[in-house]
Every structure is written in structure tokens, then in C-alpha cells.
Amino acid sequence: MADDGVQATADTAMARARAAQEAWAARSVASRVRKLKAAGEAILGGAETLAEILVEETGKPLGEAYAGDIVGVGDLFTYWCGHGATHLGPRKARIPALDMPGKKGRVEREPVGVVAVISPWNYPVALPMRVMVPALLAGNAVVFKPSEITPRCGVWLAERLQEHLGEVVQVLEGDGAMGAALVEAGADLIHFTGSTATGAKVAARGAALGIPVEMELGGKDPAIVLDDAMLDRTARGIAWGVVHNAGQDCASIERVLVHADVADRFLPLLVEAMNATADQVPELVTARQKAIVVAQIEDAIAQGGRVLCGGLPEGDAPVGPTLFTDLPRDAAMWREESFGPVAVVEVCADDEALLEAANDCTYGLGASVWSGDVPRACALGKRVRSGMLWINNHAFTGAVPDLPWVGRGGSGHGITSSPEALLHLTRPRVVVLDKAKAPEPWWYPYGPSLEGLMRAVVTRQRSGGLMATLSTLRALMARNKTLSGR
């Protein structure tokens, strides 16, 4: 339980967001789009400042700050401001015309209310924005808790949004205690992105409070290299997949599974591609994260693992691009999320052995298959337990707003981006209009005419055709006669 001051701060932010939400939701979608567009322009207009803060807080190279965080945010505003109204528009429902005459139905989407957005530090701009932009567009308010490691990015973004949207955006600075207080503050939905361990705590508390929790958690993605892969491109792609953002990506490649028939040719290429990244890899963002990765390397060495490149850093040196092979599956580097520029390599005899290795994992975020034979790669890849499958690439789709980012198993079930994200950021409202003048066929009095009609409907459902339709119409007329004779 957070202390009283922290809880009061979270409660105040929640109350302000709630007070502002109704008026925000009452605006037309077009008006919300206009406001969001202006906020998007302000954010992109300040891209240089934001990039500077990003680099200072995370240590990312400037190019990666733009590629991994800022450019995607531009696409996000373009997508949601351009297509959001269509995705939020009502859906016409089909109501059976014969047995329920005179009715029209539609399903509208309305905001859930206040969404609590709890974010990690590894993409401190892209990750919260891809939840907040569609949430706000849908008419929700948001209370945003950025990571304590990247507070300035979070506050800078929230201020740009507040300049154009007002109190409907609230920001809470602080560590896990503030996150826990936000969970207690009574949101209508919690969207949590972070580690599997914290996610479990948030989900348990959400369940006790009756608040739905969307969870985007850790990963341990496999990359499967088949014997017909384009080896040079695959090596470069996998090296990027392991090392980008110093491996601090929920969907970084942490297990490289290689078909035995190409291992001799592929592994030297992979090692070369990994070594070529050495001077581009930033330091891990916290000492705590470095200690986790170093402990995994020490454990791998103790378990008899063979270093293909990198290894234990000397003294204060950063963890470099590292590959281990010949590791038992119970080694920490095989089983637990590393979140560093390190991966395990396993050589497997055939496609079934590759699949077995890929699925020997509790996480299920992304997976990639690298092959010249796309149907074969798809067939194998669809048997991997993951939320996302990439053929001949890995993980870049986090920046594509029309594709859901989604996991399963220990990676959580949350969805961000794409129309599918609106399934939890909104709730369906059913609206039915009835123009019928006569009493309904299923109302009282019951009796043979109702039974006859229902039997005719079932016969028509089973067999269809003109005769069955005519029988149903006859039964309907008989029923109407009974009803009007009352």
C-alpha cells in the first residue's frame, strides 16, 4: 500500500481526469481529432528537444531514439487522426427480419472512462503514446505514470498533450509506489506495460478491485533459421534483433535456433554481424539491469556454455554483443528474459526440433522464421506459440499503427495499436430501433400458433429455401391472427 501522500496525489489526478472526461467524450470524433492533431504537431515540432531528453535518460544512440520512438509517434498521429473515426464508427447489426420484423440495430463504441497507463523506460515515448493516442481519440481520459527512469520524457509528452487537450491528460511522477497508488485510484481500465513480475502484481490487485488490466509483459523471442535462408541478410537481421536498444526490447531476439544443415556456414556470419555492432551498442540503462545480464553470463559460463562472441565484460566495461551456445535448457539465459545484447544459440536437427526448441518457453511475444520458402516458413511459424510472427524479419512492427502488438502466455494478452486495441479501450453500446406496430410474435398468449411459428423458423434455419420461407410466413400470419384476436 502506498503512503498517504502518494495515494492522495494519485487520487487527485484520477479525480481531475474523471471530471474532464465527460465533456471530452461529448465532443464529436472530428473535434477530438483536431485537438489531437494539434498536440501531434507540437510533439513533432519539439522532436529535437524530445530526442535530446531521450538520449540523456536512456543512453540510446540518437538515430535509435528517432527510429525506435519518435518517427513511430508521427505515424501514430497520422494513422489515428486519419482512420480513427472509421474504426470508432457504429457497426450495423443484422437482425433476423422474418421472426423479428421491423427492427434496426447498431453497435456503437463508447469510451471506457479513465485509462491508467503505466509504462516502462525502454521506449519511453513510443510505448505510452501508442496507448494514449487511441485511448484519447476514443473519448477516454488518461492518467499516465511514466517510468521513474525516464520521467522527463513522460512529463514532456504529457505537457504537450495537456496544452491542447487540458485536464483530460494527467501525469504522475514516481516509482513503483506511485504505480501501485494509481492501481488503487479506481481507473476503468489499467494498461500496464512492464515486467512479468510487476504485471502479475498489478493484475492480482486489478482483479481484487474489479478493474480490467491489459498486460504487455516480457519476452524471450526465438528466431528460427531454416536451411534455405538467405544467410547473409539473416545474420545481419538477427544481429539487429539481438542487439538494438542494447537488447532492452521486449521483443528482442534472445534465442537463435539454427537448422543443422546451415549451422557451419551461418554461425560465422552471425558472429561477424554481431561483432560489427560492438561500437554501436549503448550501456545498459541501469546498474540493476546490468547485474541481471552479467549474472546470466556468469551462470552460462558455469553451466559449460561456449562463448561464440562477447562474454563477461571486464571491470566496468559495458556488456558487448554476446552469443552463447551448448547451454543446457535450465540455464538462466535459456529460460529467463535477459533484456541485454545477449542470446543463446542452439543448433537443431530438423524443422520439428526447431519448433520444439522455440516452444520450450513460458513467454510468447514474438517469433521469426528466416527462410527462402515462405509457405514452409509460415506453416512452421504458425505452430510457434507467439502473438506475432515475422517471416524474414523481426520486431520492427511496433512502429506500425495498423498492426496489433500482442503476446500470449507469460508475455501477457494486452493489445496495443490497430483497430483491435479499441476492443478494450472502448465498450460496445447496443442500440436497437423498433418500427413494428403489431405485438411481437413471441409475446403472450403462448399456444399452438407460437409453437407452429417457432417450428417453421427452425425448419427454415435448417433447410432454407423458398418453401421453408413460405411456411414461415404462413405461420407468422397465423400467429398475428391469434395475437390480434385477443
Query: Three-state SS for 198?
Result: helix
Point out which residues pair with 220 in neighbouring strands.
Answer: none
Pairing of strands 213-216, 189-193: parallel
Between 35 and 191, CB nearer to ligand NAD: 191
Grid coordinates belonging to 363: 513467454
Q: Which of 68, 151, 194, 401 binds ligand NAD (CB under 6 A)?
A: 194
Rounded Cα gap, residues 37 and 309, in angstroms:
47
Counting contacts by CB under 6 A, is residue 217 touching ligand NAD?
Answer: yes
Q: Which of 6, 65, 202, 309 binds ligand NAD (CB under 6 A)?
A: 202
Counting contacts by CB under 6 A, is residue 99 touching ligand NAD?
Answer: no
The distance of closest approach from Cβ of residue 240 to ligand NAD in the complex, given in angstroms and rounded to an integer, is 17
Between 57 and 216, CB nearer to ligand NAD: 216
The distance of closest approach from Cβ of residue 173 to ligand NAD in the complex, given in angstroms and rounded to an integer, is 10
Counting contacts by CB under 6 A, is residue 184 touching ligand NAD?
Answer: no
Catalytic residue among 250, 309, 348, 361: 250
Counting contacts by CB under 6 A, is residue 179 touching ligand NAD?
Answer: yes
Rounded Cα gap, residues 225 and 348, in angstroms:
10
Footprint of ligand NAD on 14-73 (CB under 6 A): none
Neighbours of 464 (CB within 10 A): 10
For residues 107 to 126, the per-residue mask of contacts with ligand NAD, x marking binding by CB under 6 A and - elsewhere, is -----------xxxxx----
Query: Three-state SS for 349?
Result: coil
Footprint of ligand NAD on 337-396 (CB under 6 A): 337, 339, 365
Between 128 and 452, CB nearer to ligand NAD: 128
Q: Which of 66, 77, 156, 405 binds ligand NAD (CB under 6 A)?
A: 405
Grid coordinates belonging to 331: 540455464
- Clarify whether 216 is annotated catalytic: yes
Asked if residue 130 lies in contact with residue 69, where contact means CB atoms within 8 angstroms, the answer is no
Grid coordinates belonging to 340: 541485454
Q: Which of 67, 103, 162, 195 binds ligand NAD (CB under 6 A)?
A: 195
The distance of closest approach from Cβ of residue 466 to ligand NAD in the complex, given in angstroms and rounded to an integer, is 54
Chain mean position to CA 359: 20
Neighbours of 404 (CB within 10 A): 18
Closest CA to 258 of 222, 301, 212, 215: 222
Between 84 and 146, CB nearer to ligand NAD: 146
Catalytic residue among 64, 216, 254, 337: 216
Footprint of ligand NAD on 416-475 (CB under 6 A): none
Rounded Cα gap, residues 84 and 447, in angstroms:
50
Q: Which of 48, 56, 175, 352 binds ligand NAD (CB under 6 A)?
A: 175
Counting contacts by CB under 6 A, is residue 180 touching ligand NAD?
Answer: yes
Closest CA to 240 of 226, 232, 252: 252
The distance of closest approach from Cβ of residue 141 to ligand NAD in the complex, given in angstroms and rounded to an integer, is 19
Closest CA to 411 of 218, 270, 268, 253: 218
Helix 260-275 × helix 231-243 angle, to 10° = 50
Between 54 and 377, CB nearer to ligand NAD: 54
Rounded Cα gap, residues 476 and 486, in angstroms:
16
The distance of closest approach from Cβ of residue 250 to ligand NAD in the complex, given in angstroms and rounded to an integer, is 3
Q: What ranges in 89-144 are assigned the alpha helix state H?
A: 126-137
CB-neighbour burial class of residue 140 (10 A; exposed 0-12, middle 13-18, buried 19+): buried
Counting contacts by CB under 6 A, is residue 408 touching ligand NAD?
Answer: no
Between 75 and 261, CB nearer to ligand NAD: 75
Between 198 and 296, CB nearer to ligand NAD: 198
HSE on the CB side for 265, CA within 13 Å? Answer: 13
Residue in the shown chain whose Cβ atom is closest to ligand NAD? 179
Interface region with ligand NAD, contact rule CB under 6 A, candidates 84-92, 98-106, 172-180, 312-320: 172-180
Between 332 and 454, CB nearer to ligand NAD: 332
Place of cell 487540458: 166
Rounded Cα gap, residues 214 and 415, in angstroms:
7
Say if residue 146 is preceded by a cis peptide, omega within 30 of 0: no
- Clarify whether 153 is annotated catalytic: no
Counting contacts by CB under 6 A, is residue 150 touching ligand NAD?
Answer: no
Active site residues: 216, 250
Binding site for ligand NAD (CB under 6 A): 118-122, 127, 145, 147-148, 175-176, 179-180, 183, 193-195, 198, 201-202, 216-219, 250, 337, 339, 365, 405, 407, 411
